[in-house]
Amino acid sequence: MEFTYSIVLPAYNEDARIGATLQQILTFAAKQGWSAEVIVVNDGSTDNTAEMVRQQAIHNPMLRLIENPGNRGKGYSVRNGMLHAQGEILLFSDADLSSPIDEAPKLFAAIQQGADIAIGSRWLRPELQTTRQPLRRQIFGRLFNLALRIILGLHFEDSQCGFKAFNRRAVDLVFPMQRIERWGFDPEILFLARTFGLKVEEVPVRWAHRPGGSIHPVRDGLRMVEEMVKIRWNALTGKYTATHVELKSYSPKV
């Protein structure tokens, strides 16, 4: 079955909020009249996340569950979902809906107007942040952004917002090449997009900090910087090539 939209949700131990998240997405998609699928990628959860999704999927044919082989990381989960999705325009979102699903049409519009990738941004219009991150996380976030510019030459205001949309061509180019499986996968996606000449548009979105995330700003921040160095090394050693994919123009079906 073909879909216009695919919405991918990586999930690890999300049983406290996955039910409400899915209800919001499914209700909004139905109101919009979207031809859409919603894919939850369970990253080896030890709680009831998978069972909750299975139960909802019984009554919602739009919804399906993909199981990772154990806990592999957010990057692996997003790639796994994207490579199994069937939509023409594909979105991945954090399971906590830090950016609400009703912001998705902004990203979809950017794709329909010619972008290959549309990334949600918390910092193009900071006033759209209804709940800010703690100051320490904001500081580490800006330092990470500086490292991104220095190491990879990527000049985005916000690379890490978990709300990004892709056309089919971008998915087919970028995700088979993705090698970073944990938190540092976002810079790799954007680096690959630039390598393949894809058009990336940054779109301001509403966003709210949600407590309870599993990322540690210092420990995981250092790991992400290490992964940026790996991305640069992969590029220098020729690990990113697109010879198996035809680079051609793309027009989304809407």
Considering only 18-22, 118-122, 157-161, which range has the smallest mean pLDDT?
157-161
Assigned domain for 250 exists = no
Compute CA 203 distance to the chain's CA centroid, rounded to the nearest angstrom: 14
Whole-number pLDDT of residue 252: 45
Domain that holds residue 109: 3-236
Residues 100-131 have pLDDT tens digits of 999 999 999 999 999 999 999 988 888 888 87
Assigned domain for 248 exists = no
Residue 193, domain CATH: 3.90.550.10
Assigned domain for 175 exists = yes
Assigned domain for 244 exists = no
Whole-number pLDDT of residue 212: 59
Residues 180-228 have pLDDT tens digits of 998 789 999 999 999 999 999 999 999 998 775 556 666 666 787 899 9
> How many structural domains are present in the chain?
1
Assigned domain for 242 exists = no
Question: Three-state SS across the chain?
Answer: CCEEEEEEEEECCCCCCHHHHHHHHHHHHHHHCCCEEEEEEECCCCCCHHHHHHHHHHHCCCEEEEECCCCCCHHHHHHHHHHHCCEEEEEEECCCCCCCHHHHHHHHHHHHCCCCEEEEECCCCHHHEEECCCHHHHHHHHHHHHHHHHHHCCCCCCCCCCEEEEEHHHHHHHHHHCCCCCCCHHHHHHHHHHHCCCCEEEEECCEECCCCCCCCCCHHHHHHHHHHHHHHHHHHCCCCCCCCCCCCCCCCCC
Mean per-residue pLDDT, 26-32: 97
Assigned domain for 245 exists = no
Assigned domain for 157 exists = yes
Assigned domain for 251 exists = no
